[in-house]
Structures are given as C-alpha cells and as structure tokens.
Amino acid sequence: MQITSSKELLAVDGGTPVRSTLLPYGRQSIEEDDIQSVVDVLRSDWLTTGPKVGEFEEAFAARVGAKYAVSFSSGTAALHGAAFAAGLKPGDEAITTPMTFAATANCVLYQGATPIFADVSADTLNLDPEKLAARITARTRAIIAVDYAGHPADLDAILELGARHGLVVIEDACHSLGAEYKGRRVGSVAHMSVFSFHPVKHVATGEGGMVTTDRADFAESLRRFRNHGISSDARQRQAEGQWFYEMVLLGFNYRLTDIACALGLSQLKKLETNVARRREIAARYTRAFRSLSCVIIPSVRSNVNPAWHLYPVRMNPAQLNTDRAQVFRALRAENIGVNVHYIPVHLHPYYRDRFGYRGGEYPVAETAYEQLISLPMFHGMSDQDADNVIAAVTKLCEHYRKA
C-alpha cells in the first residue's frame, strides 16, 4: 500500500479523493441463499407468527448459549420488552451509559421509569462499574449495560453490583453478537441480553431484534409483551383447533415476521465467518494506526474478544491543528463514509429539556464524543477497501499534524 505524501492536496481542498466512490461505514451482505430463504417463505402458508419464528429463536439461543430467545420487530422493541420484563414502572430508575444510541435510555422512559446515567471507562467507553455503583439508589431497579462498538461491558462487576442490590442486569448487546467475555458467549451472561438485526449489524433481517435469557419467567413475559399481551399466538391456536384467547397484560405488536426470521436463519449460519472477517479488518486497522500519533485506536481488554460492530478511533487533539469536525468533512471528501457514535444521550434536546442536562455531567463520555470517528467496518469490505481507509486517514494525519 502506498503511503501518501504530506504535500498531497486533500480532496476537501480540491485534490483527488483516495476513492472514486463512497465506502459506507456499514452495509449488509445478502447472498443468493439468503434471497432463496425469503422466497421460500413467501411461497409458504405463513408470513408471520409461523414456524420460522420458533426455528430462528431456537437456533439463536443455541448459538449464544442461552436457554431462551424471544424475537422482536426491532432492537428497540427488544429493549422495550426487556425493560418490561424487568418490571420497570413509574417511580423506578434504571442506570445506563450516555455513550449509546438513544433507544437504550428511551426504553426506560417507555415504561414510565427514569433513566439515570453513569459515566464510562476511558479505555473501552463502556459503563464504569465504580461510577455506576455511585448512582444506585433505593429507586434503582435495573442496570442496562452497553457493549460499545462490540466490546463487552465489564459484566461480572456489573452483575455483582446487581446481585448486591437486587437489580436486573440487561445487556444491550446490539453491537456484540459473536463476541466473547471471559470465554463465555455474549448472550449467555447477563439476566437478559438484547440484540439487533439492523442491516449494519453482524446478522441482518432488515429490522429485527432478540432478547436472550435463562429465566423462564422473563421469556414468558417477553413473548406475551410482543404479542399484544395475549397468552397464545395464532399458530398455536390453529394447531390446537381453538379460537379462544385472552389478553393478560398490556402489550404491543412487536412480532418479527417469518420473512425476516427466514433471512435471519440464513444469515446466522454465516455469523462466525462474518465476525472473523470483521476481526481481520480491525487487526489491519490497528497495525496501520498504531504508529500514527494523531489517532487513538480502540482499546481491547485482555479478557474479551470483541465482535467489532464499529471501529471507533479518537482523533488526538494534542497532535492535530484542526478539530474532529474538519477531519470528518475531509474524510468524507476522500469518499470514506465515516460516522460518529455517539452524541451522548443526555445532550440530545429532549433529554436536556426534560431533565435539565447542560453538559459537563459525564466528562469522559463527553470528551470522547468530541474526538470520536467511526471508520468503515462491515464484513463485506475487501482488503482494498480497508487500505483505502488507512490511506485516507494517513493522508489527513500528515496534512493536519502539528508542526
């Protein structure tokens, strides 16, 4: 790979981009067998509430090592289901991280409870157990840890806190399908683990989500909640020749279709290959960027094997004569489809207005946000795609490096 000269004109200033077409930060990979699996369902008797739902749930539970898996129409719906199963209600609090997508905290609000934030660890940007412990009150009912970028949270420490205070621990594992924590598969560690099947994730169903758990009571609550609060589903009633059903709780229509589950089953077979490819790309990035002083590469703790949903670097302000916003614009001009993950939840206008946040409350998360850029990371990337990213970042670092 050719390393560019510091004298080369940046594309944002009128120079030639590293790539001629945009490389997105994430993208699904759909193959002919995936398409055929969907076609087969379209020709079947069941488009929803049919046999593919149970097949997908059973295969997924087996893959992550959990007793139960309950599918949902999206990762957000799955988070809402987990918050419901945890028993959150008005007057309760649940502690989570500000360094996440808004849905992680919003699911607490959906239950009428209050999301409480605790700052993150400076290395992984995951929930800091010490800061978490300081936020626990008599009203705390649950902890929602996030596996930021695909690096598992400090689950043992968080579960220990949960056990000490009688709290339900929900793992937002939407980034970490295929990751391992101390030799255990993510999805088999927390009281409930939530996954997403959005197209940029490791397994895609279009939209979709899953909650895994070892507790039968949680699984039953989740199934009823995603089906209007009804105690049986249509396929079960048809098989039994029954029409009678009862609504036993206030639920939602959060069901995942057989169409999506068929795609999920096909994609799940490729999970290990997909995760392995993401790890290859992450290793390629890490080797290239380790020597660039303008880039702070993601940290990986010794007891985990991340799944690399994202590869978030932090631009080192001590080594650059510009800010993250300009680096972002310059990389996009080079046709590198970078993104930013995330604006801390408490800084969104809704949370500022409702809860009075003004900034400065969670300094580690806020400082990281000002520096973060997510580089393209998806299993369909070629080595040349990754080398284009490396070349563009190197080009910008040379250009904006402090004298």
- Helix 75-85 to helix 103-110 angle (10° resolution) is 40
Q: How many CB atoms lie within 10 A of CB 90?
A: 8
Nearest to 72 by CA among 57, 87, 85: 57
Encoded tokens for 356: 């009075």
| Cα gap 65→170, rounded to integer Å | 16
State the residue for tokens 């289901």: 81
Cross-strand pairs, 14: none
Q: What is the mean pLDDT of residues 393-402?
A: 96
DSSP H or E run through 192 = strand 192-196
pLDDT of residue 240: 78
Domain count, the chain: 2
**Is the domain of 246 the same as that of 138?**
yes
**Is the domain of 292 the same as that of 241?**
no
Please provide the size of the chain in residues: 403
The CATH number assigned to the domain holding 200 equals 3.40.640.10
pLDDT of residue 215: 98
| Cα gap 247→228, rounded to integer Å | 7
Nearest to 82 by CA among 52, 121, 111, 120: 111
pLDDT of residue 61: 98
DSSP H or E run through 72 = strand 68-72
Are 272 and 280 spatial neighbours (Cβ–Cβ below 8 Å)? Answer: no
Q: What is the mean pLDDT of residues 220-235?
A: 91
pLDDT, averaged across the chain: 96
**Is the domain of 234 the same as that of 285?**
no
Segment 262-296, tens digit of pLDDT:
999 999 999 999 999 999 999 999 999 999 999 99
**Is the domain of 311 the same as that of 255?**
no
If pLDDT is split at 50, 70 and 90, which confidence band does 236 have?
confident
Rg (CA), the chain: 22
**214: helix, coil or strand?**
coil
| Cα gap 99→285, rounded to integer Å | 23
Last residue of a domain, one of 230, 253, 268: 268
**Is the domain of 94 the same as that of 129?**
yes
Phi-psi label, residue 212: left if phi above 0, alpha if psi -120 to 50, beta otherwise? beta
Last residue of a domain, one of 249, 268, 287: 268
Nearest to 324 by CA among 263, 367, 362, 383: 367
Least confidently predicted of 5-14, 64-73, 162-171: 5-14
Tell me the residue range of the domain where 379 lies: 11-26+272-400
Pairing of strands 168-172, 140-146: parallel
pLDDT of residue 7: 61
pLDDT of residue 2: 42
| Cα gap 182→173, rounded to integer Å | 15
Q: Flag whether pLDDT at 3 surpasses 90.
A: no
Q: What share of the chain is helix, strand, coil (3-state, %, to 5)?
A: 40, 15, 45
pLDDT of residue 1: 43
pLDDT of residue 306: 98
Segment 242-260, tens digit of pLDDT:
778 899 999 999 999 999 9
Instruction: Show which residues are catalytic.
Output: 201
